[in-house]
Chain A
Amino acid sequence: MGALDGLRVADFSWVGAGPRSTKDLADNGATVIKVESRKRLDLGRRSPPFARGESDNPDASAFFAQTNTSKKSVTINLSDPRGVEVAKRLVAWADVVVENFGPGYMERIGLGYDTLREIKPDIILASVSVAGRTGPMAGFRGYGNSAAAHSGHAAMSGWPASEPHMPPFAYGDVVAPMFLTVGILAALEHHARTGEGQHVDVSQIEPMVHTIADLFAEMPAEKPANADLVMAPHGVYPCTGDDAWIAIAVETEEAWHGLSATLGGGLAEDPRFTDRAARKANETALDAELSKLTASQDKDALAGALTTAGVAAAPVLDGREVLEHPGLLSAGHFLTVEHPVLGTSRMPAPPMRMAATPHHVGPSPCLGQHNEEVFVGLLGLTPDEVAGLAEKGVLA
Chain B
Amino acid sequence: MSLLQGLKVVIVADRLTDFGGRMLAELGAEVVLAETPMADGARRAAWLHGMRRSDAPLESLLAEADIFLDGRRAGDRPALDDLAERFPELIHVVATGAPLGQVHRPATDLTLMALSGLMTIVGEPDRPPLRLPGEQAYALTGIQVATAALLGIAARRRTGRGQRIDVSAMQSAALSNYRGPIMYEWSGRIARRQGNLLVRGKSGVRQVWPCKDGYVTWSMIDNPGMMRALVGVMVDEGAAGDLADIDWDAILVADTDQAIIDRWQGIVGTFFARHTKEQLGAWSLRLGWGLSTIATLEEVRNSDHLAERGLFVDVTDGDVTRRLPGPLFRHGGGGPTPERRVPE
Contacts and interface: CB of A to CB of B under 8 A. Distances in A.
Q: Is the pairing of A and B real?
A: yes
Contact of B309 (A134, A152, A175, A188): A134
Interface in B40-80: 40, 42-43, 45-47
Interface residues of A, number: 145
A174 B129 contact: no
Interface in B87-145: 98-102, 105-124, 127-136, 139-140, 143-144
B82 to A, nearest CB: 15
Nearest to A61: B186
Interface string B1-22: 1011011000000000001000
B322 A217 contact: yes
A163 interface: yes
Which residue, of B133, B303, B305, has the highest number of chain A Cβ atoms within 10 A?
B133
Given A3-B151, A226-B130, A201 B166 contact: no
A165 B122 contact: yes
Given A168-B199, A169-B178, A328-B174, A135 B298 contact: no
Nearest to B326: A210
Interface stretch (A33-41, A76-84, A308-316, A365-373): A308-316
B328 A183 contact: yes
B181 interface: yes
Main secondary structure of the interface of A (DSSP, over half): mixed
A316 B127 contact: no
Interface stretch (A264-272, A278-286, A352-360, A383-391): A352-360
- The B interface, classified by DSSP as helix, strand, loop or mixed, is mixed
Contact of B308 (A136, A154, A249): A136
A155 to B, nearest CB: 5
B153 A135 contact: no
A151 B300 contact: yes
A196 B157 CA distance: 16
Contacts of B198: 166, 168
B288 A141 contact: yes
A192 B3 CA distance: 10
Interface of B: 1, 3-4, 6-7, 19, 23, 27, 40, 42-43, 45-47, 98-102, 105-124, 127-136, 139-140, 143-144, 146-148, 150-155, 157-159, 161, 163-168, 170-172, 174-187, 189-192, 194-196, 198-199, 207-208, 210, 215-217, 285, 288, 290, 292-298, 300-301, 303-306, 308-309, 311-312, 322-325, 327-333
